[in-house]
Amino acid sequence: MIGQTVSHYHILEKLGGGGMGIVFRAEDVRLHRNVALKFLPDDLSHDRSALERFQREARAASALNHPNICTIYEIDEHEGKPFIAMELLEGQTLKHRIAGRPLETDELLDLAIQIADALDAAHTRGITHRDIKPANLFVTPRGQAKILDFGLAKLAPQRQKVGEAVGVTDAGTLLTVEDQLTGSGVAIGTASYMSPEQARGEDVDARTDIFSLGVVLYEMATGRQAFVGNTSAVIFDSILNRTPTPAMLLNRNIPEELQQIITRTLEKDRSARYASAAKLRADLQRLKRDSDSGRASAGAQALKSVAVLYFENLSGAKEDEYFRDGMTEDVITELSKIKELRVFPRAAVLAFRDRPVTGPQVGQELNALYVLTGSLRRAGNRLRITAQLVETRTGHSVWAERYDRELRDVFEVQDEIARSITQALRITLSPQEEKALARKPTENPQAYDMYLRARSFARRETKPDLSFAIQMYEQAILLDSRFALAHAGIANACGVMYEWHDHDNHWIERGLAACERALALEPNLPEALVARARIRYELKNFEESINDVQRALERKPDCEGAYNILGRTYFSSDRFEEAAALANRAVEANGNDYNMYIPFVNALESLGRKEEARRLRDLERRVLEQQLEQVPEDVRARILLSSEYAWLGKQDDAIRELQKAVALRPNDSNILYNAACTYGVMGKKPEALDLLKRAELSGYTNLDWAVRDPDLACLHDDPEFQRLIADAARKH
């Protein structure tokens, strides 16, 4: 059609096309302006439903005069071909603007406010769009949003012309031809962006568009879709029954207030959503105003970033390493309570532990404005702690102090360090922050010492280490029965013990009881929520497990074990995409935890994303090697390292580490299972099967994991492996 004149439009070029329309650039020869002409494809020109949708797009959009809705000039036909003349837009769709990457918060809010305003205008005129999605939202080079394609719009009775209505619903809404053709109970829209009521084929209203806009906001904030699946049925199940991973967990730059807005738009019960687009717009505008005001008043506040290096252990005693590590990690936790500070998680600084580097060197590598260095010497109940805050740019000391105290004063030292840093950086603490810094986990320093020792051993996850950790947690509780973190520690250790070593229900019962006690003492304690999530994971209550972890991460973004159990839950329920979406954030928050990597690597392998999986394996290998330098007796780290060497093709190194680990723990089901995995990676099927049988006899019962584990891929089609799994399933 290029070069033809249609009515008073001279067609210049084809811009694109899809199933419901072909679009051309044309010149309006009367008004001498460029327009877009959208033609119904030839094969649909006699399709009653397609023609109705085409006409509906023109009627709905032409009834609205709004700067954020694409303007319709007229609807006509040429030689029996219907076409719409509309505003010619320059720019790109929001789908292409996102392209798998989150938008900056400022841009997100600007666009969201415009879209909400346009929806408010449409809803006021009785028009529900029903197909809000990034592909139907356009962004001009000047950042102006435009809503496109009202072809699925639902028009209120007053907007329809005489003769268009062919039926009436119970609610009094007039049905169009398409509604009659699709029939009642049929979902209309684009699956991934539908509201729950659309997915159920129910009547819709303005709140339907608000849910769809919430899905778009989620994608703008994270770069990822909220609801995914290979089929519409899987997507609908997700929309109806699952809560997407909070956007804050995928993008740490999202303000908490924006997360709250997104959560409210995505309420499954429409009565709990925003009642109108106007109210949604008002909250978005308020957040933008507060954000702009905060930037103006804070100035360089965003630059107040601090990396806390692991304190140097001057005593030289290896048995004091747990205390040095615990002190450092708790100082990081204390500083993280201060809103105006960006504190790097311990995963970011672990690589510098005991390395001969200066504060400025670390600050430059991490892009931290300040670095806190220090040392610790412990002699009996006496402590000597030094701390120094260094400015990265100049290398100058901003603040320094030495503390000679008793062990019972350890919390006061942590508190003083945090307060001194805020004073040095001219940060004013809020009353809530003052209260948070003053709160002690326990009044008993000996209980705290027991807790740190227990936490250090529990991280290794072998049966002897877990047993010792539980004893230490119990000793801590004997000294202070109200020590919530110690109760949470027992709960977590019970969950690991049940999964890896002893499939006896008393571990579940004991773990749940410890969780209840911890949460009764300190409601919403992140560590207790993660422990309960682990136990719920063992019980296959996957949604409850996910909800617990998400609640924990909202309160403590680097809560230990959180991403490990969240990744395991997603992997075990075949939600590989959701696990993969969290991989980078998990590394940022918990990358020092070698246990964290496994489910995310497995999810990426299962999706065929080999290069991303390899990158994670490289990170895991470095963490494991570093751990064994510090703690050579950590047998779990050794057996996991053997698997990583196998993936690298270093078979001699892999077998060496495997043999050491199995010799040290010959009856540990977890060690034996991972040894089987190492042989599986190397393609040694007989050895892998033999060790898998030994693992099962020693108590390994996580069969769902074994049949998904890419390390055992060489066995998955093997009849003997399948018999082993079936026999074990009947037995357990």
User: Which residues participate in catalysis according to the annotation?
Assistant: 131
Contacts of 520 (CB under 8 A, 6+ apart): none
| Cα–Cα distance for residue pair 516/535, rounded to 1 Å | 12
> Smallest Cα–Cα separation from 311: which of 465, 395, 417, 409?
417
Question: Hey, what are 576's tokens?
Answer: 């590989």
Strands 21-28 and 9-18 come out as antiparallel
Backbone angles phi, psi at 215, to 5 degrees: -65, -40
How far, rounded to the nearest angstrom, does the alpha carbon of residue 261 sit from its chain's CA centroid? 17
List residues bridging with 343 in a β-sheet: 306
Q: Where are the alpha helices (DSSP H) in 440-561?
A: 445-458, 463-479, 484-500, 505-521, 526-538, 542-555
φ and ψ of 444, to 5 deg: -110, 110
Residue with tokens 């959009």, as numbered in its chain: 61
- 526 CB burial (10 A radius; 0-12, 13-18, 19+): buried
* CB 589, CB 558: distance < 8 Å: yes
8 Å CB contact between 178 and 53: yes
The span from the CA of 144 to the CA of 307, in Å, is 39
Q: Could you tell me which of 24, 17, 21 has the C-alpha nearest to residue 2?
A: 24
Which amino acid does the sequence have at 113?
I
User: Which value, in Å, is the radius of gyration of the alpha carbons in the chain?
Assistant: 30
Let me know: does 24 contact 15? Beta carbons within 8 Å: yes
Q: Which residues pair with 382 in a beta bridge?
A: 379, 406
**3 state SS of 440:** coil
126 class by beta-carbon count within 10 Å (0-12 exposed, 13-18 middle, 19+ buried): middle
**How deeply is 291 buried, as exposed, middle or buried, from its count of CB atoms within 10 A (0-12, 13-18, 19+)?**
middle
Q: Are residues 454 and 442 in contact, defined by beta-carbon separation less than 8 angstroms?
A: no
100 C-beta neighbours (distance < 10 Å), count: 9
- Phi first, then psi: give them for residue 231, nearest 5 degrees: -135, 160
**Residue listed under structure tokens 């190194």:** 653
DSSP 3-state of 317: coil
The 3-state secondary structure of 368-402, one letter per residue: CCEEEEEEEEEECCEEEEEEEEEECCCCCEEEEEE
State residue 34 phi and psi, 5-degree precision.
-85, 140
What does the alpha-carbon distance between residue 345 and residue 488 come to, in Å, rounded to a whole number?
21
For residues 619 and 596, the answer to whether their CB atoms sit within 8 Å is no
Task: Label the pairing between strands 397-406 and 127-128.
Answer: unpaired
